[in-house]
A = this chain, B = another copy of it.
Amino acid sequence: MMKGFCTQVEDDGKSSFVPNQRRTIRDVAAVAGVSISTASNALNDTGRINAKTRERVRLVAKEIGFRPSAVARSLLSRRSHSIGILTNDTYGRLTLPLAAGVSEVLLDHGVSAFLCPTSNDPRLAQLYLEALLDKQVDGLIFTGTRLDLQPPEILADLPIPVVHAFSEGPPDRVSFVPDDEQGARLAVEHLQSRGYRRIVHVTGQSNYLAARRRADGFRTLVGSDAEVLFGDWTEEWGHEAVGLLFARPGPRAQAIFCGSDEIARGVIDALRDRGVDVPANMAVIGFDNWEVVARQTRPPLTTIDMELNILGRKAGEAILALTRGDHVRPGVFRLPCSLVSRASCGIRM
């Protein structure tokens, strides 16, 4: 079909119509045999134009792959229908599920997202932001790798709306974060409902807001004197923590609630090294639902999912509303986590 058109035009000698090049209104006009202004009127439903001609022009435009320029439209609307996602995540573990949620929402509105991986480098962040503003993005989503990481200073005063996702922005902005306390309570409730009593919490560094919040959620249900072992976000710390728990006298814990799946993996491996059966002798629950880790522990890990895709969708909806000029209530919104049950928590007899 397209070939036919090309040949026809070249035969006419009217146009230097080259296949596989971006089509312009000029190409449409040449192929349809009308003036550029007629072609434009036909495509934009402006001016007076014969219905048949309009149909023909539209058909030609479709056949040769002409697209009305979003660029030209955005000049008129002063909206570029694009936003930027600025992330300091280098491994993509958090960013991609989140960005996928954002993009899915934007896609329905013809808005696309520029991805800007800053690798935590303020100079890179600055350069990306310059490029985004230069492209007149309608808004920006900032996503961090930890909630309490200070967003780049350059985000403070921008001429476009900014939404924070997995990052807590200032109170006059909209921020979406997982509800870490609720997630922790969900984990503890799951253990308690299955009959586990002496529950210990092994988690990451206490200078992480997420670690402290999860610990708070844990203590709410287990008691304010409940034991929390802060350490690192690593498997190694999981091993070490089990070493500490087993080295001391007194009644042993029945379950370990871990602050991350990686810690849980270390804990499970260390328990196996000691011949402790999970879940028969001890239950272990993680946090993250990072599938590559959680699915491959032995046994597979029951864990808390931060629902990053939903978080991304919420951030996408908020930035869309803001770029349309709609009011969005500012503040930090904590979104509920969910529990993914696998095999590391049994039922305590």
Contact status B159-A131, CB under 8 Å: no
Q: Kindly identify which residue among B70, B133, B269 contacts A136, using a CB–CB cutoff of 8 Å.
A: B70
The B-contacting residues of A in range 59-86, CB under 8 angstroms, are 65, 67, 69-72, 74-75, 78, 80-82, 84-85
Contact status A67-B296, CB under 8 Å: no
Contact status A100-B80, CB under 8 Å: no
Q: How far is the CA of A116 from the CA of B232 in the complex (A)?
A: 34
Given A72-B75, A114-B115 in contact, is the A107-B91 Cβ separation under 8 Å? no
Question: Shortest beta-carbon distance, A125 to chain B, in Å?
Answer: 11
Q: Which B residues lie within 8 Å of A72 (CB)?
A: 75
Q: How far is the CA of A131 from the CA of B81 in the complex (A)?
A: 10
- Proximity bits, A122-137, B CB within 8 Å = 1, else 0: 0010011001111110
Q: Which B residues lie within 8 Å of A65 (CB)?
A: 159
Copies in the complex: 2
> Please, which residue of chain B has its CB at the minimum distance from the CB of A297?
B235
Contact status A92-B90, CB under 8 Å: no
Contact status A135-B82, CB under 8 Å: yes
Which residue, of A72, A93, A100, has the highest number of chain B Cβ atoms within 10 A?
Answer: A100
Instruction: Say whether A119 faces chain B, with CB atoms less than 8 Å apart.
Output: yes
Instruction: Say whether A50 faces chain B, with CB atoms less than 8 Å apart.
Output: no
Contact status B22-A78, CB under 8 Å: yes
Given A82-B114, A92-B92, A296-B262 in contact, is the A67-B134 Cβ separation under 8 Å? yes
Q: Which B residues lie within 8 Å of A135 (CB)?
A: 70-71, 81-82, 112
Instruction: Say whether A259 faces chain B, with CB atoms less than 8 Å apart.
Output: no
Q: Which B residues lie within 8 Å of A78 (CB)?
A: 22, 24
The B-contacting residues of A in range 88-128, CB under 8 angstroms, are 89-93, 95-97, 99-100, 103-104, 107, 110-117, 119, 124, 127-128
Q: How far is the CA of A135 from the CA of B111 in the complex (A)?
A: 9
Interface residues on A, range: 35 or more
Given A112-B114, A131-B110, A132-B112 in contact, is the A92-B82 Cβ separation under 8 Å? no
Contact status A119-B100, CB under 8 Å: yes
Q: How far is the CA of A115 from the CA of B265 in the complex (A)?
A: 32
Contact status B115-A85, CB under 8 Å: yes
Question: Shortest beta-carbon distance, A74 to chain B, in Å?
Answer: 5
Q: Which B residues lie within 8 Å of A75 (CB)?
A: 69, 71-72, 75
Instruction: Say whether A53 faces chain B, with CB atoms less than 8 Å apart.
Output: no
Q: Kindly identify which residue among B22, B85, B104, B265 contacts A159, using a CB–CB cutoff of 8 Å.
A: B22
> Please, which residue of chain B has its CB at the minimum distance from the CB of A266?
B296
Q: Which B residues lie within 8 Å of A265 (CB)?
A: 296
Instruction: Say whether A23 faces chain B, with CB atoms less than 8 Å apart.
Output: yes
Question: Shortest beta-carbon distance, A338 to chain B, in Å?
Answer: 18
Q: Which B residues lie within 8 Å of A124 (CB)?
A: 104, 107
Instruction: Say whether A21 faces chain B, with CB atoms less than 8 Å apart.
Output: yes
Contact status B67-A71, CB under 8 Å: no
Instruction: Say whether A305 faces chain B, with CB atoms less than 8 Å apart.
Output: no
Q: Which 8 pairs from chain A and chain B are nearest by CB? A: A92-B96, A92-B92, A115-B115, A100-B117, A112-B114, A70-B134, A235-B296, A22-B159
17 further interface pairs, Cβ-Cβ under 8 Å (given A22-B159, A262-B296): A22-B78, A67-B136, A70-B136, A71-B75, A75-B75, A82-B82, A82-B135, A84-B112, A90-B97, A92-B95, A92-B97, A107-B127, A107-B128, A114-B114, A266-B296, A269-B298, A292-B292
